[in-house]
Structure formats: structure tokens, C-alpha cells
Amino acid sequence: MSKTKNVYEEFHGHTPRKITSVNFHNPQKLVYLGKAVSIVYECDKENGGGDGQLWEYEHKFSKTTHLYTDETAKQLFILGAKLKVTDRGIEN
């Protein structure tokens, strides 16, 4: 079982219907955009209180979480010292 599948299953509470590969640019430097305040996303997760239906989840970030982009301005990066993804969602 791949690490990708494990992370998906831990977060969503069920096996993925499909795993997609994407090209990811690994930049050497980032451009600072500002403080990251929160993120809202839609997901059908069963873990973390979800029931498998599509719901919106909002996670507020600590004051030490920041938003960056790469030099192409086509990828966003949310970085924080204690930021992690768990079965409960995004935590910091």
C-alpha cells in the first residue's frame, strides 16, 4: 500500500476511488504573500466527525502560518511550524 493511499484513508476514512499523479514543481525559493488565516474545502470524509457526505470544512490557522507561491505563481504553499494533516483534518 502506498503512502499516498494511507494518507487518503486516514484522512477520509475510506479507500480512494482513484489516485491521480500530478506534476509538482519543487521550487528552491518561495514568494511570501501574507498570513494564512484559514482554509475552507469540500470533502466527503468519514473521519473527524464526517458522515461520508460532501461537507465544507474550515480550519483556522495560528498566527505563525503563512501563504507563499513559487516563482511561476501557479502553486500555493501554506507553511506553519506545527501544521499537519490528521484524520481530524488540518491541525496546527
Q: Which three cell numbers stand for residue 46?
A: 468519514
Which pLDDT score is estimated for 50? 61
pLDDT tens over the chain, length 92 residues: 588 888 888 888 888 888 888 888 889 999 999 999 999 988 887 765 667 678 888 889 988 999 999 999 989 999 987 888 887 778 88
Boundaries of domain holding 79 = 3-91
C-alpha distances in Å from residue 3, one per residue of 9, 28, 65: 10, 24, 25
Q: What is the DSSP letter of 13?
A: S
Name the 3-class secondary structure at 46. coil
For the chain, the residue count is 92
Query: Would you state the pLDDT for residue 36?
Result: 95
What pLDDT was estimated at residue 76?
Answer: 93
User: What is the structure's pLDDT at 31?
Assistant: 97
Q: Which three cell numbers stand for residue 15?
A: 479507500
Report residue 88 CA to chain centroid gap. Answer: 12
**pTM across the whole model:** 0.75
CB atoms < 10 A from the CB of 74, how many? 8
- Burial status of residue 7 (CB atoms within 10 A of its CB: 0-12, 13-18, 19 or more): middle
Total domains, the chain: 1
